[in-house]
Amino acid sequence: MNYHLGLDIGSSSIKAALVEINSGKSIGVVQEPKEEMSMFAQKNGWAEQEPKDWWLHVCNAIQSLRKQYNINKTQIKGIGISYQMHGLVLVDKQGEPLRKSIIWCDSRAVATGKNAFKQIGEEKCATQLLNSPANFTASKLKWVKENEPDIYNQIYKFMLPGDFIAYKFSNKINTTISGLSEGIFWDFKNDKIADFLLEHYGLDASLVPDIVESFGMQSVVDQKGAEQSGLEIGTPIYYRAGDQPNNALSLNVFHPGEVAATGGTSGVFYAVTDSLSVKESNRVNNFAHVNYQKGAAARIGKLLCINGAGIQYRWLLNNLDVSSYEDMNKLASKIEVGSDGVCLIPFGNGAERMLNNKEIGTRVLNLNLNNHHKGHLCRAALEGIAFSFVYGMEILTSDGIKPKVIRAGNDNLFRSEIFANTVATLIDQEIEIYNTTGAIGAARAANLHTGDFASFSKTIMNNDYVMTFTPNKEKQAFKEAYQNWKKELELILNT
């Protein structure tokens, strides 16, 4: 039996998955290291990781996977890679990292991006980059040029985290249009590298890696990569994408009207569109999706992030006298829709881009100390987080998104019937639940070098489908609760 290997290069851990090529069935998933990877923070707001550590954990994960499932290296016929977005890896001519990677949650380049947005012009950035340069990879590279000129002068190429792992396998440095767009290096109007941004930042165009297709023969494992990883020389790398586009792919989200939802520590709506609309570019990011192709109808992923999601429910778990999420959900289920007036605003995880980067914190409103108890708090938290998703969908709708199908991973929030039903009812859209991961999706995507998207879709339905949440027919109580929540939120935002 032959397999594809999927890798998910996260900031917390590396996950590796094997799927059987013909059926797409997941054979197993392993995680390295067992404990969460550390981040280096020399100053407040900084976050860095050592790229060589990612590679070490990748090699250990492959070894563990092969040993655990008794897989010969010759049985692994291709590799797919998913990775943490927006990171910056810098290498010299020998391919050695010149410094630690500045990763996605590092905020040192915020001012750099804001200045560029004003100086280049908001309209030009919006219509050609579909985003502000903000705190993305291009702005981080500019920060290095300004603050670490000795390092900048030694750079041969910059890479995104997934590009670096592909390089370690193959000794070939390349990237994708989707990857360049997430770093804000892509000019969508002219379908090419954003030369005007490079010129504004004074960045040498030679630092940009060669471009390969997201699906196809990107490179192959060379002798050194084989020796270190335990894979066969010549094993192809067939696919690469950032984690949010890859999560959408894992849920079979490719076409306009299809939306992927994530309900983990933070929440995400990732909606695919063929429109280059940037009406909400201050609150929504726009990237080339994995199936974006030059000269073809656009495939843009509109990404709306909600920081105050699962982390809010986890905080309650840690601070209420309850032992599990299941217990919290049982308590919440005993309370009527609307939580008897208790309203929870769940934005206590820092600034919220969809609230124009305001930091309003978590707030519990209308609590009656005589009548309300922890069951009301649990229900209000689930509803408050669900309402934040609904609020986010209203923003996406104003930017032209018309959801035809919403698919979500079977993660912590979407395991809650209260949460999922509230979102489905208020958006008036079924939510399909699938049991998959980014590493499994990346492994399956390695098979898309054949171009057979229909078989890919069947693989996901046959292996991963769990259930569908349908809108509640009795909507009035949900609507009233949402309007009460929205009124409280807007009072805060307008204060």
The tens digit of pLDDT for each residue in 110-127 reads 999 999 999 999 999 999
Q: How far apart are CA 189 and CA 187, in angstroms?
A: 6
**For residue range 1-50, what is the model confidence (pLDDT) as tens digits?**
999 999 999 999 999 999 999 999 999 999 999 998 999 999 999 999 99
pLDDT band at 357 (very low <50, low <70, confident <90, very high): confident
Burial class (CB in 10 A: 0-12, 13-18, 19+), 230: middle
Distance CA 88, CA 441 (A): 24
Q: What is the pLDDT of residue 286?
A: 96
Over the stretch 76-104, which tens digit does the pLDDT of each residue have?
A: 999 999 999 999 999 999 999 999 999 99
Q: Tell me the pLDDT band of 350, cut-offs 50, 70 and 90.
A: confident
| Four-CA torsion 417, 420, 424, 425, nearest 10 degrees | 50
Assigned token pair, 19: 């799927």
* Residue among 205, 204, 183 nearest 85 (CA): 183
State what percent of residues in the chain have pLDDT above 70.
100
Asked whether the predicted pLDDT for residue 180 surpasses 90, the reply is: yes
Tokens 């280049």 identify what position? 120
pLDDT (average), residues 271-279: 93
**pLDDT score at 174:** 98
Strand 174-175 with 210-211, pairing = parallel
User: For residue 84, what is the DSSP state?
Assistant: -
Q: What's the pLDDT tens digit per position in 437-488?
A: 999 999 999 999 999 999 999 999 999 999 999 999 999 999 999 999 999 9
Cα dist. 29→218, 347, 439 in Å? 24, 33, 8
Which pLDDT belongs to residue 332?
A: 98
The secondary structure of 238-276 as a DSSP string is EEEEEHHHHHHHHTT--STTEEEEEESSSEEEEEEES--
Q: What is the structure's pLDDT at 400?
A: 93
pLDDT exceeds cutoff 90 at 302? yes
134-177 per-position pLDDT tens digit: 999 999 999 999 999 999 999 999 999 999 999 999 999 999 99
pLDDT at 367 over 90: yes
- How many whole angstroms separate alpha carbon 240 and alpha carbon 7? 9
Query: Which one-letter amino acid corresponds to residue 179?
Result: G
- Report the pLDDT averaged over residues 410-430: 94
- Confidence category of residue 281, pLDDT binned at 50, 70, 90: confident
What is the distance between the alpha carbons of residues 68 and 274, in angstroms, rounded to a whole number?
Answer: 43
**475, 419 Cβ separation under 8 angstroms:** no
- CA atoms of 58 and 35, how far apart (whole Å): 14
**Are 110 and 119 in contact, with CB atoms under 8 Å apart?**
no
Location of structure tokens 């980059």: 129
* Under 8 Å between Cβ of 209 and 91: no
Q: How confident is the model at residue 331 (pLDDT cuts 50, 70, 90)?
A: very high
pLDDT at 352 over 90: yes
Q: Which residues of 340-365 are buried (b: 16+ CB within 10 A; e: fewer)?
A: bebbbbbbbbeebbbbeeeebebebb
Residue 79 DSSP code: E
**282, pLDDT greater than 90:** no
Length of the chain measured in residues: 495
Q: Give me the phi and psi of 180, to 5 degrees please.
A: -65, -35
Confidence of residue 410 (pLDDT cuts 50, 70, 90): confident
- What tens digit of pLDDT does each residue of 229-245 get? 999 999 999 999 999 99
What 3-state DSSP class applies to 382? Answer: helix
Q: Is the pLDDT of residue 323 over 90?
A: yes
Task: Return mean pLDDT, the chain.
Answer: 96
Confidence of residue 265 (pLDDT cuts 50, 70, 90): confident
Distance CA 6, CA 9 (A): 10
Burial 34-54 (b: 16+ CB within 10 A, else e): eeebeeeeeeeebbbbebeeb
